[in-house]
């Protein structure tokens, strides 16, 4: 097709287009591909022209069509760089061609189980699409013609391209609402992936083609007559189903081809929205219909903008599917997001099309934030290609979500704060579990509480990337806040040893030089406002800026155990003496690693950030060590605890500061001869030391019931591990208790568990 023929087709819907630009792009593309041939033997540029023809059929803007003509130039011609194209034809065309080139470079199907590589390539597709949706429209047109000429490829290449098309590009066309491209891509992919099944269905369809066509004409005439009697101006025609949809129905229902009777559907086009419902009423009056097959996509449009009434009637026992829509709805159903396009600006013009683009971009951004290749790929396919469920807010607004979404997904779709404070949900007036799977037509109400917060188990239930991201973000922020608070406490303890005040220290010029200047101190007094503390001064030159974005970042790293408070203080002290020496020292440490550890008086730390571990139950007097947990806080163990994590970088030296009012639980195992009064003597000895017995259990030793020995033990958690639990002020009092009981007649063993 010549440039003039393309121009004539464009002129029918965009007569003011810059046709001189199209002529120049046509000539340049023809020149670039002049010496190239396709595997079919045809000139390569014929493929570029066919791509442009498809874009013209969607009535897209001139820049998109020109980019279609040039979409392979950067990939195939060395001299055709993005900058070169921008100089010749403008930045928009160059950017579109570059976007298509990036998609084409990365196969979306990976051999083997390389999920990471596949996820990376999916991400590149998302980035290109989110930046400008026209990139994916050009790629769909390009892929359509490649599929139409796929017979010239090798068998392996045919299957590879067909699989990628069926799993990625056909669903994208469906999401954008371009049904005619979607149906064509599905049938062509099916033809090469399952050629035997394709031929059987195609052959069966051809055998009774004349019969079906005659029946379609007859049925269309009957429906037209019924609508005419109801004074409805309508156009009625048959619509053959695509082969792949028939194959899907055979698989889903598990029935042979001969038992599928709705191979031809009918489409009724009317002028007004109200006529759709009037026509449905007239048809249902004349023929019985299948109630569960009636769907109203006019009152409840799909996310891609699709609107239509679907019903199935019974004509002498034969099922006939009917779609009823207006002419404008039909245009959207066929062309999707391209149905209403600003030809001069290259963007959707109608509100529904703008909503499609907004929804697509938000979905892509949500998925893009996910971590982990497997989760990324699953969300990519679920949210972009999966089925949808349509539910209502209490005010009657429609919310579209992926199938099997939960009230939690709904809550985060409404607003992040609604999701974060969700404490329960009601569906259709009934209280339901937050794990409830939403159904079409459900009316959902979210109950919130200002003190509510997400649960980590929510991550196992939610379906949307948005909900998953927001939940993870909430926990990350909580962990960060706790780490900042712990970092402040650890630093404060270290400063007290030098009689320094935390607030004054953090405001000192030498400290601020480490973390990027005075702006970084914005929220030290109120760590809850972490988002306000992200600005870094552009006028500082201290090399450590690359390690600390601001004061809170610095405190967070201390709280997480990545930095030692003592080492930071040493660095600041050095800075007072020699600024240049400090810079050289830090420059040589990438990343910063600190080996020294602070001494911490345990009881000076807020107990909300410190946990004395039950695995070894340390008490004052024991040799102890602290472990900085990754989520913030310090766990305190005895130094010989077998469950102490083997991570030297996160261990800190700590010491006790005894407080008389605090008592600590200790587990004891006591063995003694079974004689009258022995248990009373043991408890009396313990009570004489002003020690409280919290729990205890007494009985014969289970290992050898023939011996006249008993255990004084406490049974913990039904695990069969028994102990006597007492409360002492520290190691000194515990030693006194052990000596007192050990000296009793008949006691053979007393040990600390």
CA distance from start to end of the chain: 89
Q: Which residues on neighbouring strands pair with residue 486, listed in sequence order?
A: none
Strand order in the sheet with 610-612: 600-601, 651-655, 624-628, 634-638, 610-612
Distance in angstroms (rounded) separating the CA atoms of residues 163 and 156: 11
Locus of tokens 């008949």: 746
DSSP string, 254-307: T--GGG---SEEEEEEESSHHHHHHHHHHHHHHS-B-GGG-EETTTS--TT---
Question: Is 76 designated active site?
Answer: yes
Q: Is 334:180 a contact under the CB 8 Å cutoff? A: yes
- C-alpha gyration radius of the chain: 37
Picking from 487, 472, 247, 485, the residue whose alpha carbon sits closest to that of residue 369 is: 472
Q: List own/partner pairs for 363-367 with CB under 8 A and 24 or more apart.
A: 363/465, 364/126, 364/127, 364/129, 364/130, 365/130, 366/464, 366/465, 366/466, 366/469, 367/126, 367/465
Distance in angstroms (rounded) separating the CA atoms of residues 55 and 63: 11
Picking from 604, 613, 609, the residue whose alpha carbon sits closest to that of residue 664 is: 613
Question: Is 499 designated active site?
Answer: no
Q: Is 346:134 a contact under the CB 8 Å cutoff? A: yes
Helix (H, G, I), strand (E, B) or coil at 504: helix
Distance in angstroms (rounded) separating the CA atoms of residues 631 and 636: 15
User: The tokens of 738 are what?
Assistant: 């052990």
Catalytic, out of 75, 120, 296, 388 = 75
What's the Cα-to-Cα distance from 76 to each of 2, 41, 613, rounded to whole Å? 22, 17, 65
Distance in angstroms (rounded) separating the CA atoms of residues 722 and 82: 75
Catalytic, out of 42, 76, 345, 601 = 76
Q: Is 58:335 a contact under the CB 8 Å cutoff? A: yes
Residues with active-site annotation: 75-76
């Amino acid at each position: 097709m010549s440039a003039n023929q393309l121009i004539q087709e464009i002129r029918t819907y965009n007569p003011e287009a810059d046709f001189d630009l199209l002529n120049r792009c046509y000539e340049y593309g023809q020149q670039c591909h002049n010496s190239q041939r396709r595997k079919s033997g045809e000139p390569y540029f014929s493929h570029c022209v066919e791509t442009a023809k498809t874009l013209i059929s969607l009535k897209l803007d001139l820049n998109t069509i020109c980019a279609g003509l040039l979409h392979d130039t950067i990939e195939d011609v060395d001299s055709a760089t993005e900058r070169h194209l921008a100089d010749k034809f403008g930045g928009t065309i160059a950017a579109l061609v570059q976007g298509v080139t990036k998609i084409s470079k990365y196969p979306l199907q990976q051999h083997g189980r390389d999920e990471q590589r596949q996820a990376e390539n999916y991400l590149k597709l998302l980035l290109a699409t989110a930046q400008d949706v026209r990139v994916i429209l050009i790629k769909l047109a390009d892929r359509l013609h490649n599929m139409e000429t796929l017979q010239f490829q090798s068998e392996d290449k045919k299957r590879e391209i067909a699989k990628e098309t069926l799993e990625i590009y056909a669903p994208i066309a469906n999401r954008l609402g371009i049904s005619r491209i979607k149906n064509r891509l599905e049938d062509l992919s099916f033809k090469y992936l399952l050629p035997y099944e394709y031929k059987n269905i195609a052959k069966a369809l051809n055998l009774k083609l004349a019969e079906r066509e005659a029946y379609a004409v007859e049925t269309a005439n009957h429906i037209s007559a019924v609508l005419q009697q109801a004074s409805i101006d309508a156009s009625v025609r048959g619509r053959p189903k695509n082969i792949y949809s028939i194959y899907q129905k055979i698989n889903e229902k598990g029935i042979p081809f001969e038992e599928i009777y709705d191979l031809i559907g009918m489409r009724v086009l009317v002028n007004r929205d109200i006529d759709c419902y009037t026509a449905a009423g007239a048809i249902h009056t004349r023929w019985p219909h299948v109630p569960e097959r009636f769907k109203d996509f006019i009152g409840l449009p799909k996310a891609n903008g699709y609107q239509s009434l679907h019903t199935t009637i019974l004509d002498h026992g034969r099922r006939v599917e009917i779609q009823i829509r207006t002419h404008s709805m039909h245009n959207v159903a066929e062309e999707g997001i391209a149905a209403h396009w600003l030809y001069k600006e290259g963007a959707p013009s109608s509100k529904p099309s703008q909503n499609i683009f907004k929804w697509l971009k938000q979905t892509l951004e949500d998925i893009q934030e996910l971590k982990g290749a497997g989760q990324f790929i699953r969300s990519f396919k679920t949210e972009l290609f999966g089925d949808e469920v349509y539910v209502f807010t209490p005010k009657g607004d429609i919310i579209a979500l992926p199938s099997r979404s939960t009230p939690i997904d709904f809550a985060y779709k409404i607003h992040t704060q609604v999701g974060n404070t969700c404490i329960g949900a009601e569906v259709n007036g009934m209280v339901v579990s937050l794990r409830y799977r939403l159904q079409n037509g459900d009316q959902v109400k979210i109950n919130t509480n200002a003190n509510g917060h997400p649960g980590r188990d929510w991550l196992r239930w939610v379906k949307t990337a948005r909900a998953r991201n927001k939940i993870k973000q909430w926990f990350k922020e909580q962990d960060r806040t706790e780490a900042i608070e712990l970092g402040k406490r650890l630093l404060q303890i270290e400063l007290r040893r030098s009689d320094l005040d935390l607030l004054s220290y953090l405001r000192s010029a030498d400290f601020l030089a480490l973390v990027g200047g005075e702006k970084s101190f914005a929220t030290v007094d109120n760590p809850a406002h972490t988002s306000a503390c992200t600005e870094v001064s552009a006028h500082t030159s201290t090399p450590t800026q690359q390690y600390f974005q601001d004061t809170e970042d610095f405190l967070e790293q201390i709280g997480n155990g990545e930095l030692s408070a003592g080492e930071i203080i040493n660095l600041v002290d050095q800075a007072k003496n020699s600024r240049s020496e400090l810079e050289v020292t830090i420059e040589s440490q990438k990343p910063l690693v600190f080996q020294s550890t602070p001494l911490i008086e345990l009881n000076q730390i807020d107990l909300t950030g410190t946990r004395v571990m039950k695995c070894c139950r340390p008490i004052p007097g024991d040799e102890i060590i602290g472990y900085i947990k990754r989520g913030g806080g310090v766990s305190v163990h005895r130094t010989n605890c077998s469950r102490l994590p083997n991570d030297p970088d996160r261990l800190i030296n700590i010491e006790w500061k005894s407080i008389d009012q605090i008592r600590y639980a200790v587990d004891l195992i006591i063995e003694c001869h079974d004689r009258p009064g022995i248990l009373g003597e043991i408890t009396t000895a313990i009570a004489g030391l002003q020690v409280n017995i919290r729990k205890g259990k007494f009985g014969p030793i289970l290992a050898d019931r023939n011996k006249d020995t008993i255990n004084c033990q406490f049974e913990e958690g039904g695990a069969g591990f028994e102990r006597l639990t007492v409360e002492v002020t520290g190691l000194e009092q515990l030693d006194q208790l052990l000596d007192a009981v050990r000296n009793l007649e008949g006691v053979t063993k007393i040990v600390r568990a």
